[in-house]
Amino acid sequence: MSVVTGGSEAAAAAAGGGGGNRVFFQSPRGGGSSGSTSREDSVSAAAAVVQVQQRRHQQGKVTVKYDRKELRKRLVLEEWIVEQLGQLYGCEEEEMPEVEIDIDDLLDAANEEERALKLQETLVDCYKPTEEFIKELLTRIRGMRKLSPPQKKSI
């Protein structure tokens, strides 16, 4: 059973006078006259359209919060890092020891020397020379920006 509130004059007259808002009960779908069913269908269709528009609007907000170009650069860099670590450790990604290179952490470092030290500490157990990898990585992150988590707007 659905509840409809309204103050139409016809509904007020049918209820026996009184001009204020009244609550009317309608039978569930399929149990009423064809007029009320088509009205419910049109109300449901309108609600669905509004819901789809709201969903599209929300999706639009999400894509605006991040710079796609910056995300793409970050993804390409991360793929390059995985490939290079595979070569340094001489194994596939699944077999690689736990090595975590946090790009945002590197970007937080005060200067190139501090970034290089962080990378050397991370790669301390690598048996191959890491100087070229570190130099190339520092070159690639130059000019990148730190990604901040998305801001949630209160509604």
Q: What's this model's pTM, rounded to 2 decimal places?
A: 0.53
Does the residue 49 lie in any domain?
no
Does the residue 46 lie in any domain?
no
What integer pLDDT is reported at residue 97 of this predicted model?
Answer: 82
What integer pLDDT is reported at residue 1 of this predicted model?
Answer: 41
Instruction: Report whether 7 contacts 21 (CB < 8 A).
Output: yes
Does the residue 125 lie in any domain?
yes
Over the chain, what is the mean pLDDT?
A: 73
Does the residue 27 lie in any domain?
no
* Alpha-carbon gap, residue 48 to 40, rounded angstroms: 12
Answer yes or no: is pLDDT of 137 > 90.
Answer: yes
Answer yes or no: is pLDDT of 145 > 70.
Answer: yes
What integer pLDDT is reported at residue 96 of this predicted model?
Answer: 79
